[in-house]
Structure 1
C-alpha cells in the first residue's frame, strides 16, 4: 500500500520508530479472540454493583439527528459476555509487518460494526454467534483520515486519497471527503477539498460537530454541511497561520500553527461551525513544541513544552480564558497523544485520556515495581486542576480509559490472568464505585494486539465492546490464512 509522493509516508525510519513504540508497550502475554462466559462469582476482585443502574448526567432531552452522539450505557441484565462479532480479513498473502494493510476507523451502531480497511468500509452485523457482512462500501482510494465522532442517527465521514490519479501530479493527495450512513453503508455525498494539493495522510485531520464536517491539512481547511455536502467555508494560505486540525463534538475548535521553526507559535480558536468565524482565541506560551485538542467542550489543550511528549494539559472556560494547568509531572502520566504512526488524523486523538464535563481523566505511565498496580487513572478537576479521584489497575492487569457515559468513565480492565476476566466497567469518580458492564476473556494464541489500545480501536456502544485492529499482516507461517479483524462482545443476557 502506498499513499504516493510527496511526502514519502512509510520511510524506513518511520516504520522503525513505530515498531519500537509497539515493542515498548507490548507484553509477553498472548491473547486471542476466544471469549469465555464468566460467572458473576469468579475471583475476589469483582466489583460492587451500583443501585438500579441509573446515573447522574444522563441526557433527558432528545438530541437532534445531526448532533454528535453522547450515549449513556445501561447496566445489562448480566455482565456475562458472549461473542457478537468475530470477523476475519481475507487475502493477506504478501502483506507483512513491515508493509501492513492499514485499517483506520472503527464505528458501531445498534446493529452494525463498521470498519475501515484500506480502500473500503465494511459493515458487519452485530449478532451472537453469527458472522455476516451486511455491506461493503468501496471507496475511490485508501482512507487518509477518520474521526471517532458519529452522529446521533449513525453517520460519519472519512477523507480518501483517490487512486485514479496514479502516475499523475496529483497522486498521493488526500482531497476527497465521503459522508457515510453506517447502518446502510450508503454513500450520502462526496466532495473534493478545494486547493488541497498539499493534503496528505501525514497532515490531514477530520472532525464532526453539529451539522458540519470539517477538514484541515496545514495549508488550508474546509467545512461542509452534513445534509448535502455543500461547502460552508474554507481558508487559504493568506494568513501566516495554518490550520493544523479541528476538535469537534459539542463545539468546533481550530488549532493553528504560526510562523516557521524555531519561532513557531500556536493558537486555538473557537469557531462558529457554519461560518468559520472565530469567537475567541487562546495563545499558548511561546516555546511549545506541539499541541493536541482532546476536547472542544470543555476546551482542553494537551501541550508539549520543551519536549516531544505532552508535558501539560490546559483547561479553558467558555470564553477561552485559562482555568488550570495540569502538569504531567515529567512523564508520570501518559495521555498518549503521540501514539501511533502519526497519520490518519492525530490532532483530536489522545487515547490515554478522556475529558468529561467537569473532569479530565488521565492514565499514568506503566509501572515496573512489583508492589505497584500496572497503572492507574486519575481524575482532575477542570476548573482547579486538583485531583478528585483515582482508579487503580492491578499487577499485570492495566486499565484503559475509553469514553464518558454521562458523568461516569468507561474503563477497560485488561487481564493476563488465568482466573480473572477482562472487564468493561463504569467508574463513578464521585463515589469511587465500579459497576461491571461486561466480563469476558481474551486468552491464548498470537492475537495479543486486540486488547492493546496502541494497536487496536476499542469502542463501547449499545452494551457491546468491540476490538478492531488498526494494522493487518499475514501469518508468516500460514500466509494464506485469514486474520482476525474485529471482535465484539455483548451481554449473554
Structure 2
C-alpha cells in the first residue's frame, strides 16, 4: 500500500521555508517507517502509519535559547473576547517588555566554528520526515564550553571522560522538578476493564491530532479543531476547548499543577488556505480546560509576519518552541516573551527545536548552506543563556535530544541506521561542560528505538534514568520456524557507554518497550499476542524485577481497539492504574474497510 501524501502544514511535512536570513534547512526526503510484524496472531498487510507520538505523560516521563528580546505580547486573537478562555491580564502586555538576557549571556559567546508496528488492523497516516543521507562522518564530534575563547578551534578532547565515580546529569536550575520516588503501585488485582473507547471523527483529509495529556483527574486529547478533556476515572467528557484552527504541535510534558503547551493554526482550513501556518502558541490548564494564555511572535527583523513553529516543550516555568525559522520562549504563567528568533545571527544559526523536562536543551543548526554543522546546547530555562555547548561532527545534519538532563542526543550518523529509525548512535554529553562522555553505537538491526531526525524532541521507545539509557531490542523468533516472537529491554551506562546486565524479557509472543521513568523504576508496555491483552509493568531500577501493574482483557477479533494502533506511531499515557492509547494522525477511512477507526482506547484497574 502506498503512503498517502503528507499535508503541507508547517511542522508536519510542509514545504520547508528557509529561516530568516536565508539559512533554512533543506527539506529531507521522506522515508517510510520500518514496519513491525504482529506478535503471534494472524498477519495482515500493514498500511501506512500515523505521526510519531509524543512521549508519555506527566508521571515521570522521558525528558525534554536563547534570544532574549523585548516586546512580544500574547496576542488577543480569538481569545480576547468574552467566553470560556482565561485571558492574559492587562498591564505588562500593553507595554514594551524590557530587554533581558542576550542570546548567549555574559561570558558565553556564540560558537564560531566553521563548517559544518503494525497492529491487528492497519492504520492510515504518515511519517512526517526522515533523516537525510549524509556524508561520511568523522566520529564523535568536537566539544567546547560556551564562553571558552578556544572553543571554535575544535580542540582534541573529543571523547574525554569524567571520573568513573561521577554521576551524569541532574536537573538544570529552573527546570521541571525530578521525581525521585516511585508513585505507581501494583493493585490487588491487576486485571483491567475498558474505560472508554472513542472512534475518531469523520474527516476527508489527513488531520494531525498529536497531543494527549494525563493528570490525576483528567485525560485530554487533541481532536479536530478542538481539545477534549475526559474524566480520568470514568472516561466521560468533562470539557471541550474549541480552537480557531487545528493543533499542529504539542508538548509531551505536563507541569505538576496540570499545565501544558501546544501549537495551533490561526484559522480554519479552507480551499483558499488549505494549510495555515503553525504560528499560535497556547498554554492549557488540563484539569479545568481553560486556555491560560495564547500568543505568537515575529522575528527581531520586524514586520507583521508571524514565525511558524514545528514543535514545543516545557521546562520549569518556560515554554519554548522551535522550527526552521528559529526558536522563541515565553513564561509559562503569564505569557511574557523571553526570547525570539533573530534574523541577523552572525553565525547563521537558528534553534531547530528544544527538549524540556528537568532541563532545557536545544539543537542549533549553523553555517552556510554547503557548510552546515549542529551545536547541542544546554540552556538556562529562565534566560535562554547557554550553559554549555557541544559541536557535532560536520556532516550530521539532523539530530534529536533523548533527554535534556542528563543530556543524551541521538543521530543517524552517515545514514548508518538504514531503517528510518533516525538512530545509529547516542551521544552522552555533560550538560554542565559540553564534554562528550560517551558515544554509544545503537545498531538498528539490534534495537528498536526511534527518533524523527527532523524534530528535536521526538524520540520514543527510549528512556533515560538512573544514569542509564533503556532501549528495546528488535523482536526475534522464540523458536526457529515458528511465528512466536519476543524481545527484551536492555540498558547502557551513560558514563562508560557499556551495556549493563539489565534484561527484561517480554515473554513468548509479547513485545516490550519502555514508556517512562517512575522515580527509580521503569514503566514499560507489553504489546500482546492475538486474543490476549497488553500489560503495563514496572521494572525495579536496581534488580529489574518485573511487577505487573495492569493486565488488559484479550479480544478475539481484528477489531480490538488496543492493538488497532501502531505501537510506533501512537501516544501511550499511563498513570495511577489508567492507560490511554491514542492516534496522532487520522484520515479518511478506506472504503473497503469495515473495521472501526479509533481515536482513543483506554483501560482502568479501578
CA distance in 1, matches of 2:552, 2:269: 46
- Distance change >3 Å, CA 186–CA 375, structure 1 → 2: same
In the TM superposition, residue 375 of structure 1 has moved relative to its aligned partner by: 2.2
Aligned to 1:102: 208
Is contact 2:448–2:474 with CA below 8 Å preserved after alignment?
Answer: yes
* Cα distance in 1 for residues equivalent to 2:350 and 2:520: 35
**2:21: which partner in 1?**
none
Deviation at 1:75, TM superposition (A): 2.2
Preserved contact between residue 423 and residue 438 of structure 1 (Cα < 8 Å): yes
CA deviations over 1:53-92 (Å, ceiling 9, x no partner)? xxxxxxxxxxx999467473222232111222322334x1
Give me the whole-angstrom Cα distance separating, in 1, the residues matched to 2:403 and 2:429.
10
Alignment partner of 2:447 out of 312, 319, 333? 333
Q: Secondary structure of 1:121's partner?
A: strand
Matches within 5 A, 1:163-178: 163=267, 172-178=276-282
Question: Is the 2:12–2:310 Cα contact (8 Å) retained in structure 1?
Answer: no
Aligned residues of 2:174 and 2:382 also touching (Cα < 8 A): no
State the Cα distance separating 1:394 from its structure 2 match: 3.3
Q: Which residues of structure 2 form unaligned runs of 5+?
A: 16-26, 45-118, 122-172
Q: 1:370 to 1:261 in 2, by over 3 A?
A: farther
Structure 1 counterpart of 2:578, from 464, 471, 483: 464
| In structure 1, distance between residues paired with 2:305 and 2:509 | 47
Residue 119, structure 1, aligned to residue 230, structure 2: no
- For 1:145 and 1:463, how far apart are their aligned partners in 2? 27
Alignment of 1:72 with 2:180, yes or no, is no
Tell me what 2:360 maps to: 252
CA distance in 1, matches of 2:485, 2:466: 28
Q: Is the Cα–Cα contact under 8 Å of residues 69 and 149 in structure 1 kept in the other structure?
A: no
Q: TM-score, normalised by structure 1?
A: 0.80
Q: Is the 8 A contact 1:22 1:454 kept in 2?
A: no
- Structure 1 residues 287 and 368: alpha-carbon distance in aligned structure 2, compared to 1, 3 A threshold: farther
1:289 aligns with 2:301: no
Structure-2 change in CA distance of 1:166 and 1:199 (3 Å): farther
1:383-441: CA deviation from partner (whole Å, max 9, x where unpaired): 111122121223431112100011111110111144x5421000124213100100113
Equivalent residue for 2:288, pick from 172, 177, 184: 184
Q: Would the aligned equivalents of 2:351 and 2:362 in 1 still touch at CA under 8 Å?
A: yes
In 2, the alpha carbon distance for the partners of 1:84 and 1:326 equals: 41
- SS in structure 2 of the partner of residue 235 of structure 1: coil
Change (3 A) 1:164 1:417: closer
Contact (CA 8 Å) 2:215, 2:286: kept in 1 or not? yes
Work out whether 1:414 is the aligned partner of 2:527.
Answer: yes
Q: Is the 8 A contact 1:376 1:390 kept in 2?
A: yes
Q: For 1:82, which of 187, 190, 193 is the aligned residue?
A: 193
- Taking the aligned partners of 2:563 and 2:587, their CA distance within structure 1 comes to 12
CA distance in 1, matches of 2:530, 2:272: 54
The offset of 1:247, in angstroms, is: 0.8
Q: TM-score, normalised by structure 2?
A: 0.66
CA positional deviation for 1:357: 3.7
Do 1:449 and 1:456's aligned partners in 2 also have CA atoms closer than 8 Å? no
Higher relative contact order (CA closer than 8 Å, sequence separation 6+): 2
Does structure 1 residue 423 correspond to structure 2 residue 535? yes
SS in 2 for 1:458: strand
Q: Which has the higher strand share?
A: 1
CA contact (8 A) 1:450 1:456 kept: no
* SS of residue in 2 equivalent to 1:306: helix
CA, structure 1 residues 400+182, in 2 after alignment: closer, same or farther (shift >3 Å)? same
Structure 1: state its 5+ residue gaps.
Answer: 33-63
Q: Secondary structure at the match of 2:33?
A: helix
Aligned equivalents of 1:354 and 1:262: distance in 2?
Answer: 34
Deviation at 1:237, TM superposition (A): 2.3
Please give the secondary structure, in 1, of the residue aligned with 2:440. strand
- Matched with 1:208 is 314
Query: In the TM superposition, what is the alpha-carbon distance from 1:478 to its structure 2 partner?
Result: 8.8
CA RMSD of aligned residues (A): 3.3
Indicate conservation of the 8 Å contact 1:147/1:206, yes or no. Answer: yes
Say if 2:512 is the partner of 1:399: yes
